[in-house]
Amino acid sequence: MNIAVLGTGIVGRTIAARLAELGHNVTIGTRDPEATLARTAPDAMGTPPFAGWAAENPGIAVAGFADAAAGAELIVNATNGNASLDVLAAAGAGNLDGKVILDIANPLDFSKGMPPTLFVKDTDSLGEQIQRTFPASRVVKSLNTLNADLMARPTLLADPGTVFVSGNDADAKNTVTGLLKDFGHDDVIDLGDISTARGTEMLLPVWLRLWGALGTPAFNFKIVR
């Protein structure tokens, strides 16, 4: 499949590399490819400069948001939650029409100190905001409930746990579920329409505190039943 991954942080890089490894034709999208490739210092999260990663992944194209989205059948939103609507607008609504958007972003608000709070929750969600803003796209919320390494390679855990899909379009959820299974996710629960993204986005506060309590992000939620 032709896939655009929007976002060059750890989540975008990890998902892009895993999709390429599985044989997909992947383009990673960024606002200004020249500027992104020219950076030589780690970002605020300590992520190493992008150019080194790009050099190690020569099979993955780097393009502006709109160019990346134009050629893609499926678009992965791997941006920070507070940038997501802006980035998708930069990708161009016309480039999103009819396409599946796998939305991994979380509406984290770091402006009020740590741990972050959520800038939308409970009566709305980032997934719904994206679906409302780009009504001709087919948004599927998933993978926002675990660490990037485990998103892409859940079998790093002996018991990989559960991931969730939320979305209004059954075919789009099937497409995403297929990718999730290819990643190694055996237990995928379809929660229902995109409004159920409220539930999975609201997992972040306990996820962040579990990270603190366990001292590692290498854990996942499993729904035992």
Nearer to a second copy, 38 or 223 (CB): 223
Smallest distance from a second copy to CB 78, Å? 22
Residue 79 binds to a second copy (criterion: CB under 8 A)? no
Residue 111 binds to a second copy (criterion: CB under 8 A)? no
| C-beta of residue 74 within 8 angstroms of C-beta of residue 91 | no
From the list 24-32, 47-55, 177-185, 203-211, the region that binds a second copy by CB under 8 A is 203-211
SS3 (DSSP) at 204: helix
Q: Can you list the alpha helix ranges (DSSP code H) found in 65-168? A: 65-70, 84-91, 93-96, 126-133, 148-152
SS3 (DSSP) at 54: helix
Window 115 to 134, contacts with a second copy (CB under 8 A): 117-118, 121-123
Distances (CA, A) of 55 to 52, 59, 78, 126, 202: 5, 9, 20, 33, 36
Nearer to a second copy, 81 or 160 (CB): 160
Choose among 7, 170, 173, 25: nearest CA to 90: 7
Nearer to a second copy, 9 or 115 (CB): 115
Residue 198 binds to a second copy (criterion: CB under 8 A)? yes
Q: Which residues bind a second copy (CB under 8 A)?
A: 112, 117-118, 121-123, 157-161, 164, 189-192, 196, 198-200, 202-203, 205-210, 212-214, 216, 218-225
